[in-house]
Amino acid sequence: MANRYLPLALTHSPTPRIENFALLAGLDAAVRGMLISTMPLVVYDALGDAQSTSIVFFVAGIVALLWGLMVPWATRLIPRRWAYTCGVLLYLVGMTLGAIGTDWSVPLALIANAMATVTIFVCLNAYVLDYVDRANLGRSQSVQMVYAASAWTLGPMAGVWLYHTWAPAPFLLAGSFALVLLVTFWVLRLGNGKQITRAKRPAVNPLAYLGRFFSQPRLIAGWSFAVMRSCGWWVYVVYLPIFCIEAGLGDKVGGIALSVTNALLFAAPLLNRLGRRMSVRGSVRMAFGVCGVLFCAAALMSFLPWVTVALIMASSMFLVMLDVVGGLPFMMSVKPSERTEMSAVYSSFRDVSGILTPGAAWLVLWVAPLPGIFLAAGVGLLSAWGVAGRLNPRLGLPRPSRGGR
């Protein structure tokens, strides 16, 4: 009876809004954006060459992939809010190891940050799929991009500058953002999301939901688009700065280029509307096709380093467009009863690309100079362009109402 007289805000958590999820995505971007251009330089400085750097990123990708596939299983045993909290705490562990800055702590910092990223990504996507209806998924993605735009624009350049000013500085600042993210998450009171299934359902075997994933071709296609898009970003973030160093352009060009490109995230709502007007298939195909051609051209023009940098920067504009619309084929095909599990499968694109890209780069560097990595990425992006041609042409377009026939 006492609860009868309590204010509603004290007895029930408010329904989360798209802006709440966007705020969390923006703070997460502040953590990652500070280190996205800094970590390749830190690892390269610690280990001394591009091949060793590729191996460390390869190992971190494998660890993050296995960890991410176990997150849904873990959320059956512990509440989702605590899983999200553990992800933020992993960030803090990674920042501490990165600030130490030795040849053994830097690889461990990379692994801890990768585990943190995938944990937060799985949990946040599960929350989004719980509370955002299918028709508003595109808007949710674009709003998240806008909230993250400042962090992705200023973070890469600021991180590199801070690293050269005082090596632990970017890690300390990123750790501060992680603490703000943790406090904000608990203030928003997202809880554990909607419980679609019965509370006493046994924990799901990761191999079981992988089987359900592989039985749905639309999910496989949507996931493969995310993998190739992420491979493009990996090449941009990790190997463009190394190319600039080896070509004599300096170690700040890569961070500046990424910051300039990420300013396009402010145009995410416009890109979302453009994608919906063209249909998801049309926008995804156009972005993959142009991006692949530009990557190949950058490899062929590598004897002119500034031209290569300009072409890679131009291609990244279409990677931003893929960030906005490229995930819709997957998210529009997920069943409500499989939100958490399929969020984990989808999040694996980041880790699979983190395995494929440095692994392929390691092989390419045995037979070709570094620009060969740009060519390999271009071929992969063009292959995604071919697969996208099999998408339903009406995907993402408004459906006719039943009464309108």
Burial 107-121 (b: 16+ CB within 10 A, else e): bbbbbbbbbbbbbbb
What pLDDT score was predicted for residue 196? 43
User: 303 in a domain, yes or no?
Assistant: yes
**Predicted pLDDT of residue 399:** 55
5 in a structural domain: no
Residue 254 covered by a domain: yes
Burial of 336 (0-12, 13-18, 19+ CB in 10 A): exposed
Q: What's at 164, amino acid-wise?
A: H
**Looking at residue 377, which CATH number applies to its domain?**
1.20.1250.20
- Tell me the C-alpha distance between 1 and 5, whole Å: 8
Q: How does pLDDT run along the chain (405 residues), one tens digit per residue?
A: 444 444 444 444 567 888 999 999 999 999 999 998 899 889 988 887 777 888 898 888 889 888 887 887 887 788 889 999 999 999 999 999 999 988 889 999 999 999 999 899 889 988 887 888 766 777 787 788 889 888 888 888 899 899 989 999 999 999 999 999 999 999 998 876 655 443 445 545 555 667 778 888 888 888 899 899 999 998 998 899 889 988 888 878 877 888 888 787 777 777 777 766 777 788 889 999 999 999 999 999 999 999 999 999 999 889 988 887 777 778 777 776 676 677 777 877 877 888 888 889 889 988 889 999 999 999 999 999 998 888 766 665 555 544 444
**Which residue range is the domain that position 348 belongs to?**
16-192+205-392
Tell me, yes or no, whether 104 lies in a domain: yes
Whole-number pLDDT of residue 198: 39
Residue 279 domain-assigned (yes or no): yes
Q: Is residue 83 a part of any domain in this protein?
A: yes
Task: Compute the distance between CA of residue 102 and CA of residue 109 in angstroms, rounded to an integer.
Answer: 10
Q: For residue 195, with 0-12 CB atoms within 10 Å meaning exposed, 13-18 middle and 19 or more buried, which class applies? A: exposed
- Classify residue 158 by burial, with Cβ atoms within 10 Å: 0-12, 13-18, 19+: buried
What integer pLDDT is reported at residue 55 of this predicted model?
87
Domain count of the fold of the chain = 1
Q: Is residue 402 part of a domain?
A: no
Print the SS3 string covering the chain.
CHHHHCCHHHHCCCCCCHHHHHHHHHHHHHHHHHHHCHHHHHHHHHHCCHHHHHHHHHHHHHHHHHHHHHHHHHHHHCCHHHHHHHHHHHHHHHHHHHHHCCCCHHHHHHHHHHHHHHHHHHHHHHHHHHHCCHHHHHHHHHHHHHHHHHHHHHHHHHHHHHHHHCCCHHHHHHHHHHHHHHHHHHHHCCCCCCCCCCCCCCCCCHHHHHHHHHCCHHHHHHHHHHHHHHHHHHHHHHHHHHHHHHCCCCCCHHHHHHHHHHHHHHHHHHHHHHHHHHCHHHHHHHHHHHHHHHHHHHHHCCCCHHHHHHHHHHHHHHHHHHHHHCCHHHHCCCCHHHHHHHHHHHHHHHHHHHHHHHHHHHHHHHHCCCHHHHHHHHHHHHHHHHHHCCCCCCCCCCCCCHHHC
The answer to whether residue 91 is domain-embedded is yes
Residue 144 and residue 23 in contact, taking contact as beta carbons nearer than 8 Å? no
Tokens of 378: 């271009």
Q: Which two tokens stand for residue 316?
A: 């990244």
